[in-house]
Amino acid sequence: MPTSRPARQTALSGTHFLDGQFLVAMPGMADERFARSVIYICAHSADGAMGIIVNKAATDISMPDLLVQLDVAPEADAIRLRERVGHMPVLMGGPVEGRRGFVLHSDDFHIAQSTLIIDDGICLTATVEILRAIASGEGPANAVLALGYAGWQAGQLESEIMANGWLNCQADPSLIFNADLESKYERTLRGNGIDPAMLSASVGRA
Spell out the SS3 assignment of 27-85.
Answer: CCCCCHHHCCCEEEEEEEECCEEEEEECCCECCCCCHHHHHHHCCCCCHHHHHHHHHHH
CB 184 within 8 A of CB 196: no
| pLDDT tens per residue, range 169-178 | 999 998 999 9
Least confident of 3-12, 59-68, 183-192: 3-12
Structure confidence at residue 201 (pLDDT): 44
The number of angstroms, rounded, from the C-alpha of 7 to the middle of its chain's C-alpha atoms is 21
Mean pLDDT computed over 145-163? 94
Structure confidence at residue 77 (pLDDT): 73
Structure confidence at residue 4 (pLDDT): 36
CB 88 within 8 A of CB 142: no
Phi, psi (5° rounding) for residue 88?
-85, 115
CB 152 within 8 A of CB 12: no
pTM of the model: 0.85
Mean pLDDT computed over 170-191? 92
Which H helix or E strand runs over 105? strand 96-106
Model confidence at 28, in pLDDT bands (50, 70, 90)? confident
Over 90: is that where the pLDDT of 152 sits? yes
Least confident of 76-80, 104-108, 152-156: 76-80
Cα-based distances in Å from 21 to 14, 85, 174: 17, 26, 13
Mean pLDDT computed over 70-93? 79
